[in-house]
Structure 1
Amino acid sequence: MTKLLPKNFVLGGATAAYQAEGATKEDGKGKVAWDDFLEKQGRFKADPASDFYHRYPEDLELCEKFGVDGIRISIAWSRIFPNGNDQEPNPLGVKFYHDLFKECHKRQVEPYVTLHHFDTPDTLHKEGDFLNLDTVEAFARYADFCFKEYEGEVTKWFTFNEVWPVSSCQYLTGTFPPGIRFDYSKVVQSMHNIMLAHARALNLFKEKGYAGQCGIIHSLETKYPYNRDSIDDQRAAELADTLSNKFLLDATFLGEYQEATWNNIQEILRSNDAHIEVPYEDIVEMKQAASQLDYLGINQYQSSFFRSYKGDNDIHHNGTGEKGTSVFKLKGVGEAMFDMAIPRTDWDWLIYPKGLYDMIMRVKNDYRNYKEIFITENGMGYKDDFEDGVINDTPRIEYIKQHLEAVSDAIRDGANVNGYFLWSLMDVFSWSNGYNKRYGLFYVDFESQQRYPKQSAYWWKELHQTRELK
């Protein structure tokens, strides 16, 4: 039986400033920590990336032609305030986003704008990023500026993209700058402080009566026990879920941490000789924001299966697409399993659409004050073959179709999900994979910067016209 998507369901494409724009040193843009971090690694850099900074009119024209009616864009904080907390904004950076949003509306593509997508200005990052409460305040000031400056041009805002990956990749896996590994105090404190920054920005948005709506985006991977009959594996999955999902969902929708959540976090922290500080004043701000949140963005690419593990921390990040090389063992939590009877990508990401359905329903059932959900990222990294301008990416089409079917099922079962944003609109730079991991509807030749629609783009266009998942 063919499943249908609602008539007004947004079919969008997702991007991020640092991954798409390029132009990292143009028109007064300030440095971000990634600039030096990538240069030190010497593997790849984010310039020119997809050259969205200069070619956005072409990309938005493709959106209009192929039925992409919403676009996730992030504002590069360091284009607006080059050092993060400058007294005056950079006029060329401010103008760029005015021009970009004008082109969006010209092409009838609604902009959904994220304020922070992994790119804190370098000056603030060197001072501790969100471990430093001065960065929390600087972010709120930057957010308030954007809300006011682009009012009328942007009505859909997100404060942060993927709080868990920001904190865990900076301080657990070491794959993001500053490249620290296994510091659980920093991981959890960073998450809490980012949620405080989100709350402060959202409260400003509501207090000042800006037009539009504002939410936050979380990366939410459903965690399952590897052996569903094993009490130890069930506990490992629960702890993994608390660390990466429940801690943030509680902060988002409740403004505080439930007793079971807090107890699990403390158990993980004790296992790793770690601690965090959560002042009462933070909870007051977070509760105020929780009652005013307009929507949640869910990013999900895979689900995880955990089994009990009693050893030390051991992580190997598969950043090359060498299938079978991933290792993810967390002391005091559990071990993620990859070699299972479930399809997976070359990067060991398990393809399990039911996980998306389960997470949507979990939010609906566990946090009754939620209002609206968008799937803000979902997609398949793939080594696309370019053959005379033809890119047959049938596996990506099947991946998208299966996950949209999961969304359709959740809508049928009462969840208020109003849009799906494919990661990514066009091929972009990947933080830890460079350019060999492609996600886009549109193939980018990174040398010539030419765009080529993939088979998935033509499938998407038909989906947009018919709303039929066939």
Structure 2
Amino acid sequence: MYGQHVFPQGFVFGGATAAYQVEGATHAYGKGLVAWDEHLAQQGRFSADPASDFYNRYEEDLELCERFGINGLRISIAWTRIFPTGIGEVNKEGVEFYHRLFQACRAHHVEPYVTLHHFDSPLEMYRAGDFLNRDVIDAFEAYARFCFEEYKDEVTYWFTFNEIATNALCRFIEGSWPMGEKYRIDKALQCEHNMMVAHARAVIAYKQGGYAGEIGIVHCLHIKYPYDPNSREDIIAASRDDVIKNRLLLDATFRGSYAADTREIMDYLADLSGGKLDIRAEDIELLTKAADLNDCMGVNYYRSQFVRAYDGENDIHSNSTGDKGSSRYALKGVGEYRMREGLKTTDWDWIIYPEGLYDLLMHIKLAYPNYKKLYITENGMGYKDTFENGIIDDEPRIDYIRQHLDWTLRAVEGGVNVMGYFVWSLQDQFSWTNGYNKRYGLFYVDFETQERYPKASAYWFEQLSRTGHLL
């Protein structure tokens, strides 16, 4: 019970990774190119090779998992390690790598939770529009079917996509990702919808295959609070932003269609950018068929936002350097993010608001009662860790994780079925727009030597995982 700070029986205490952020070997062993390879080379600021060299050091990282009581590990498969161009000929070296990795997980008593797509679409598909191009939906389903069959004896838990909203927003609203555009809300919403259709097709294929595991999707969700809860304008602004970041995805996942007010706001937002959404009857049929087939959903939670009505010019600047206070987010006709007095932020201007996780989990339970099981698939604190005399004292990270787990337990006490928590991240990793100065890991990585060192948070998390008691 929450009052005793005890987690449910069978609760997973895990760590999280993503292929492109940890594996390295981005151009080796037959792997095909992704858009990030080209984008990072053009920028010349940093490279994802060797990242954390997980391709060669996964045994070492799995030994750390076993030693520190981490019994679940989020892993993503790099699509282009399997199909170098996304379709066609199979790369046998890539296929065998994941066989070895999943078998090593079993040997170290670590359950793999496997994501098929974590921001790394094949380069040529990205150039062709990525999931705005419906041919990519076909290719993704074929890739998913191959993986389900190939790894059916080694993988029990599957997720189709990681953070559809992030993929759409960073490319089409913030414009900070490869081949990005700015302020194209219509394209962002269309991308989200099409990726949800791809998710539905993969889920249906998995169930038709009769596999004896579970499948779901991972969404990054943010509670949107009106900056002034007594302002009608701010309430509307928060609702519009909520559709972009949360409601479209949750409706598609669990309703199988868009509620009337969701669809009304979607059309309004698309019109802001001069576009129109292409949502077909056959899309809704697929979403409806898949809605009750989802076995679980992963929730990635880092922050909430307080939204104020805004009708000025578009103005977005993402803090990718840790220069505190430099972020700006304002979308004309949607809303502007504002800070509430008294709240703390990370160096990257992310509001630390663990109560938002509780509100989010309770909202899912109440608004989508057909959900079955949730995992907190990512939560953690980006921090400028210091390494002194072999000691990494990251007490702020411990406090951050403890607070979020506390509010998770409150949600469990409130009847929400949450059965796991995965720290982002297992070890320090490459970060998409931050490189290597933003660290999240339980284990410090010296990127010069690739040596791993447990942080104070690793020892704290071990006590938690061994006892199931939040202290």
Give the TM-score normalised by structure 2. 0.98
Deviation at 1:339, TM superposition (A): 6.3
* 1:73-104 deviation digits (Å, cap 9, x = unpaired): 00000000000011x31000000000000000
* 1:311-339 deviation digits (Å, cap 9, x = unpaired): 12110010000000000001221001136
User: Aligned residue for 1:254?
Assistant: 255
User: Aligned residue for 1:388?
Assistant: 389
| Contact kept? 1:315, 1:329, Cα under 8 Å | yes
User: Aligned residue for 2:28?
Assistant: 26
Q: Which moved more, 1:171-180 or 1:424-433?
A: 171-180
| Contact kept? 1:217, 1:298, Cα under 8 Å | yes
Counterpart-to-counterpart distance in 2, 1:115 and 1:272: 31
| Contact kept? 2:380, 2:400, Cα under 8 Å | yes
* 1:183-221 deviation digits (Å, cap 9, x = unpaired): 122111110100010001110000111120100000001
Counterpart-to-counterpart distance in 2, 1:68 and 1:124: 36
Structure 1: stretches of 5+ with no match in the other structure: none
* 1:96-145 deviation digits (Å, cap 9, x = unpaired): 00000000000000000000000001121111100101100000000000
1:312-327 equivalences in 2 (<5 Å): 312-327=313-328
User: Aligned residue for 2:450?
Assistant: 449
Counterpart-to-counterpart distance in 1, 2:4 and 2:295: 31
Deviation at 1:272, TM superposition (A): 2.5
Counterpart-to-counterpart distance in 2, 1:154 and 1:117: 17
Letter of the 1:262 counterpart: R
User: Aligned residue for 1:297?
Assistant: 298
The secondary structure found in structure 2 opposite 1:468 is: coil
Q: Which moved more, 1:55-64 or 1:37-46?
A: 37-46
User: Aligned residue for 1:79?
Assistant: 81
Counterpart-to-counterpart distance in 2, 1:167 and 1:243: 10
User: Aligned residue for 2:398?
Assistant: 397
Q: Alignment partner for residue 43 of structure 1, among 39, 42, 45? A: 45
Letter of the 2:192 counterpart: M
| Contact kept? 1:15, 1:425, Cα under 8 Å | yes
1:44-63 equivalences in 2 (<5 Å): 44-63=46-65
User: Aligned residue for 1:193?
Assistant: 194
The secondary structure found in structure 1 opposite 2:15 is: strand
Give the TM-score normalised by structure 1. 0.99
The secondary structure found in structure 2 opposite 1:469 is: coil
Structure 2: stretches of 5+ with no match in the other structure: none
1:230-241 equivalences in 2 (<5 Å): 230-241=231-242
1:142-221 equivalences in 2 (<5 Å): 142-221=143-222
| Contact kept? 2:224, 2:304, Cα under 8 Å | yes
The secondary structure found in structure 2 opposite 1:391 is: coil
The secondary structure found in structure 1 opposite 2:398 is: helix
| Contact kept? 1:152, 1:211, Cα under 8 Å | no
Counterpart-to-counterpart distance in 2, 1:280 and 1:177: 31
Q: Cα RMSD over matched residues?
A: 0.9
| Contact kept? 1:223, 1:305, Cα under 8 Å | yes
Q: How many residues align?
A: 469
Letter of the 2:101 counterpart: L
| Contact kept? 2:224, 2:305, Cα under 8 Å | yes
Deviation at 1:2, TM superposition (A): 5.2
Deviation at 1:7, TM superposition (A): 2.9
Deviation at 1:5, TM superposition (A): 1.4
User: Aligned residue for 1:121?
Assistant: 122
Deviation at 1:289, TM superposition (A): 0.6
